[in-house]
Amino acid sequence: MSVHAGTIIHVGGNNVIDRIQSAGLGDVRVTNDVIREVGNELIVDKVPQDPSFTFTLESFDVSAELEAFITGQHAGTGSAADPATAAADGTAYKWSDCEFVNVASPWKDPATGSAGVVTSGHLVPGFYPTRMRYQFGVSDSASQTVELAGGAFYYADGAPVEQFATGDASTTAFVTADAAIPYRIGGAEGSSFKSIFGVIVGGILQTEGVDYTQSPSNSASPAVATVTFTTAPANGADIRFCYFTTAAKSYPQAVHASTVTKPGAVRGRNICVFLGSGASRQKLGGVQSFELEATVEGDFEREFCNTEVVGYTINGRDCTGSVTVRAKNSDAFLDVLSKVTGVAKTEVIGWLNQHSLPLEVQIQNPKNPAQVLKTLYVDDAIFQPPGTPARVNTPTDFQFGWESRTGDFTVYKGAKP
């Protein structure tokens, strides 16, 4: 019997991420530097380079769960409600507010049936969101894909869990709820141990030996472990860390929340694209597809005497995309071109456009289109006039590329206020 995808889930922000189509670590090979020396034809040693791993997750979920997770605004309690449920309509999640996150992935023993018992799993601790992509098609299910980057991952024959706490400005020591399985640092030859990973306070990845210490550090046996901070986390600070435990854990049942409250998927007929805002908002007609891709350019931070990543330096952010329009006729096409460029139809419209305008995408509940589930908003989209991709016996679709002037975008739960 193989490890089936139906037995693997991903928990982010203490809630199961719904409607996942694919998820997991990408290429995890660590390249070795070959060490040689003068007077020796043989290789002296092979030293692993500093690793860089990517965890990618694609979901059909059109709630604000993923955005709440990657911006640290998770309000989940492990119930069937997703992390955005507790938030009020109009809650904003900005791409520029992303934080470090942990992903716990428990694996179920399929022999236990619907009850579900976690037998093993893996942890992806201290990863940072580097890419978010939304793809909507007129006849396709709306999908969103998040890409996280980090420098470590772990497997164990035990349940992976993320534990949460809140700072009170005085407490420095935080204890795991269950016995934690130790990790032998350095591999089979290592003689020191750790059992807690991905220590995050207020969205910032903490550095072991500087910001905190953990114990025990010299035992290969599972035991309750303690994180002790050098300085007590501030009052109200969000504290997160993860570990593997030998304690029995049931398989979370929050996956596949009822389609009455959350649709299985949304098609183009329930997605509306608007140009402008307020009194001048205008629905864009003839849309065939929409894409938004937000990215982060950055570098991992490392230091002497530490095998793991200690931070992520952001060099810049960007937000780009495209809208494909099938115009009914040339007049309708010129209407769209005039809207995105700000140039009147009575004038000649050229290839250069620096005019920016708000771009808004509303995703409706298919069972109640009057209810807006989520809104994507770019307040400074600059559109590129399209080419003319004419093809025999085929309607002409015009693809308008666009980019945010500031490289940022915001997701709102429900309609934009």
Does residue 329 share a domain with residue 277?
yes
User: Residue 381, Cβ neighbours under 10 Å: how many?
Assistant: 25
Does residue 275 share a domain with residue 211?
no
Q: Which range is least confidently modeled, 13-22, 76-85, 181-190?
A: 76-85
**334-340 average pLDDT score:** 93
d(CA 186, CA 193): 9
- Residue 115's pLDDT band, with cuts at 50, 70 and 90, is low
Q: How many domains does the chain have?
A: 2
- Inside any domain, residue 100: no
- Residue 404's pLDDT band, with cuts at 50, 70 and 90, is very high
- Inside any domain, residue 114: no
Does residue 326 share a domain with residue 200?
no
- Inside any domain, residue 158: no
Does residue 274 share a domain with residue 370?
yes
- pLDDT of 344: 93
- pLDDT of 80: 38
Residue 112 vs residue 125, higher pLDDT: 125
Does residue 236 share a domain with residue 291?
no
- Inside any domain, residue 120: no
Instruction: Reply yes or no on whether the pLDDT at 253 is more than 90.
Output: no
**Region label for 83, one of left (φ > 0), alpha (ψ between -120 and 50) or beta (otherwise):** alpha
Containing structural domain, residue 207: 168-245
Q: Would you state the torsion angle of the CA atoms of residues 319, 320, 325, 331, taken in this order, to the nearest 10 degrees?
A: 90
Instruction: Reply yes or no on whether the pLDDT at 117 is more than 90.
Output: no
- Inside any domain, residue 173: yes
**330-359 average pLDDT score:** 93
- Inside any domain, residue 302: yes
**Helix or strand (DSSP H, E) at 69:** helix 65-70
**72-80 average pLDDT score:** 53
**183-211 average pLDDT score:** 93
Does residue 358 share a domain with residue 239?
no
Instruction: Reply yes or no on whether the pLDDT at 134 is more than 90.
Output: yes
Does residue 223 share a domain with residue 276?
no
Q: Which range is least confidently modeled, 175-184, 262-271, 386-395?
A: 386-395
**355-383 average pLDDT score:** 95
- pLDDT of 252: 65
- Inside any domain, residue 60: no
**204-222 average pLDDT score:** 92
- Residue 281's pLDDT band, with cuts at 50, 70 and 90, is confident
Instruction: For residue 74, give every residue at least 6 positions away whose Cβ sits within 8 Å of its Cβ, in sequence order, or none.
Output: 12, 13, 14, 15, 68, 83
- pLDDT of 78: 36
Instruction: Reply yes or no on whether the pLDDT at 150 is more than 60.
Output: yes
Decide: residue 251, CB within 10 A, 0-12 exposed, 13-18 middle, 19+ buried.
Answer: buried
- pLDDT of 26: 85
CATH number, residue 295: 2.30.110
User: Reduced to 3 states, what is the DSSP secondary structure of residue 74?
Assistant: coil
> Per residue in 101-112, pLDDT tens?
999 999 887 776
Instruction: For residue 331, give every residue at least 6 positions away whose Cβ sits within 8 Å of its Cβ, in sequence order, or none.
Output: none
- Inside any domain, residue 53: no
